[in-house]
Structure 1
Amino acid sequence: MILLTTAVVLLAVVVAIHLLFTFALVTRIRQLPQHGGAPAHNPHLPKPGTVVRPFSVIDTDGAAITEADLDGPVHVGFFQVGCGPCRMLSDALAASPPTARFVSFMHDDPDAPDATARLTAKLGTLGRVAVIGVDDPVLTAFEVVAFPTLLHTHSGVVTASGTRLSDFTDAVSAPVKVT
Structure 2
Amino acid sequence: MSVLTAVVVLLAAVCALQLLLTIGVIRRLREHTAALAGLSQSPASLGVGDEVGEFSAVTVDGEPVERDSITGDTLVAFFTPGCGPCEKRLPEFVSYAGSSLGRRDRAIAVVVAAELSDADAYVEALRPVARVFVQDSDGALCRAFQVTAFPTVVMVAPERDGRVMITADRIRLDQPASVPA
| TM-score above 0.5 | yes
Residue equivalent to 1:127 = 130
Which sections of structure 1, spanning at least 5 residues, go unmatched?
Answer: 1-39, 174-179
Q: Shift of the alpha carbon at 1:58?
A: 1.0
Paired residue total: 131
> Contact (CA 8 Å) 2:45, 2:148: kept in 1 or not?
yes
Could you list the per-position Cα deviations for residues 56-98 of structure 1 after superposition, in whole angstroms to 9, with x for gaps in the alignment? 1110111211101222100001111111111211111223333
Residue equivalent to 1:103 = 108
Amino acid at match of 2:66: T
Distance 1:44 1:73 in 2: 21
Structure (1/2) with the larger helix percentage: 2
Distance 2:168 2:176 in 1: 10
- Identical aligned pairs, as a percentage? 26
Write out aligned runs for 1:66-81 (5 A).
66-81=66-81
Residue equivalent to 1:65 = 65
Distance 2:54 2:112 in 1: 19
Instruction: Point out the more displaced range, 120-129 or 137-146.
Output: 137-146
**What TM-score do you get using the length of structure 1 for normalisation?**
0.63
Distance 2:123 2:76 in 1: 15
Distance 1:159 1:144 in 2: 16
> Contact (CA 8 Å) 1:45, 1:162: kept in 2 or not?
no
Could you list the per-position Cα deviations for residues 110-149 of structure 1 after superposition, in whole angstroms to 9, with x for gaps in the alignment? 3x93x52111011112110011111113212112111110
SS across alignment from 2:169: strand
Distance 2:85 2:171 in 1: 8
Give structure 1 regions of 4+ aligned residues with deviation exceeding 6 angstroms: 168-173
How much is the aligned-residue C-alpha RMSD, in angstroms?
Answer: 2.9
Could you list the per-position Cα deviations for residues 136-178 of structure 1 after superposition, in whole angstroms to 9, with x for gaps in the alignment? 1321211211111001011111001137525x878997xxxxx
Residue equivalent to 2:91 = 91
Q: Return closer, same or farther for 1:65/1:95 CA change in 2, 3 Å cut-off.
A: same
SS across alignment from 2:120: helix
Q: Return closer, same or farther for 1:53/1:116 CA change in 2, 3 Å cut-off.
A: same
Write out aligned runs for 1:1-179 (5 A).
43-97=43-97, 98-99=100-101, 101-110=106-115, 113=117, 116-155=119-158, 156-162=164-170, 165=173
Distance 1:144 1:129 in 2: 16
> Contact (CA 8 Å) 1:160, 1:172: kept in 2 or not?
no
Amino acid at match of 2:167: T
Q: Return closer, same or farther for 1:61/1:157 CA change in 2, 3 Å cut-off.
A: same
**What TM-score do you get using the length of structure 2 for normalisation?**
0.62
